[in-house]
Structure 1
Amino acid sequence: MIDTTKGFTLTREIDATPEELWTAWTDPDELAHWWHPRGVTTPRDSVTVDLRVGGAYTYTMVNDSTGDEYPTGGVYREIVPTERLVFTWGNPDDDPDDAPVVTVTFESLGELTLMTFQLQGVDGTPGDESFYDGWVSALDVLVEHAQGPHVFG
């Protein structure tokens, strides 16, 4: 089992609706646009989503400079459309019971949405050039995607 005392939380106030952010987190076409830190891309053909409790997702991030590939995946544990998404995160072959867990919530603030991202099971601190910095960068890419000249869905 994972050590839930390890982890971190990130928040963003985003100029998008909870519905738009939900789509960004659950639609394979949308995920390919942002589910990676800067300097990395996620080819659309690498993204699969079986959006149901117990369903799996996979994607592969590719380093733009080196071509190194980072297969990633997990299993959905809780799905409350436009409000809450909980899933394991790591290597697609990992035992889901031993994988870190991501919880993402969306709360309408009127014209903005408060998105809270929590990762449990791994340490992360600013400047680690690993989990924390990677997710900060990926969420920055998400914000740019959500607030850019884009139509969801």
Structure 2
Amino acid sequence: MSTEQTTEAGNGYSYTLTRTLNATPAQVWQAWTTPDQYAQWTYSVPGTLEMDVRPGGTWKATMRSPEGAEFPLTGSYTEVVEHSALTLGMDVPGRPEPTLLTIKLAEEGPGNTVITLSQTSDTAEERDSAEQGSTMLLDSLTKFLADNAGS
């Protein structure tokens, strides 16, 4: 499993993370869109995950940090292109519009996928926190896919 990752600063307060995974786009897609798989690698509290993966569908979960703090999250799906692209709107208290997290998948040779996550935030602090969270998710996804290779 490749763990190569690049980070690009975007315009304003945005980031883009790119990583090559040793899994097909279909396997990565299933990990992001199938509740039983998603729950295994995203730090979600058991019993809190709901996913309706379609444009306009909603999702919610309570995430638990490594330190044990819990964060309830809600949002919706704005773009769903099977095995290729997923855009999640994340509800932020006090903000009229959701924050968008865009996930792009591209096949790179047999059995490999380049995953690109990008997000724009209102402040540098929000961006840094979101980038740290996304890096943790990519680390966990990488391990999940490696542990489940050939399953």
Query: Where on the TM-score scale, by shorter chain, does this alignment land: which range?
Result: 0.7 to 0.9
Question: Which one of the candidate residues 25, 28, 39 is aligned to 1:21?
Answer: 28
Cα contact 2:23–2:149 (8 A) shared by 1: no
Structure 2 residue 39 is matched with structure 1 residue 32: yes
The 5-angstrom pairing of residues 50-89 of structure 1 reads: 50-66=52-68, 68-89=69-90
Q: Determine the structure 1 residue equivalent to 2:133.
A: 134
Normalised by the length of structure 2, the TM-score is 0.80
Using the alignment, how far apart are the partners of 2:37 and 2:66 within structure 1?
19
2:80/2:87 contact within 8 Å kept: yes
Q: Read off the aligned partner of 1:32 and give its amino acid letter.
A: A
Distance 1:94 1:142 in 2: 30
Larger RCO of the pair (alpha carbons < 8 Å, separation 6+): 1
Query: Taking every aligned residue pair, what percent have the same amino acid on both sides?
Result: 28
- Segments of 5+ residues of structure 2 without an aligned counterpart are 1-10
Q: Is the 8 A contact 2:91 2:97 kept in 1?
A: no
Aligned counterpart, 1:120: 120
User: How far 1:146 sits from its partner (Å)?
Assistant: 0.9
| Residues 18-71 of structure 1: per-residue CA shift (max 9 Å, x gap) | 001101111111111122xxxxx31231110011111100110123544x3100
- Structural RMSD (CA): 2.3
Task: Kindly tell me the number of residue pairs found equivalent between the two proteins.
Answer: 138
CA distance in 2: counterparts of 1:138 and 1:78, whole angstroms: 20
TM-score using structure 1 length: 0.79
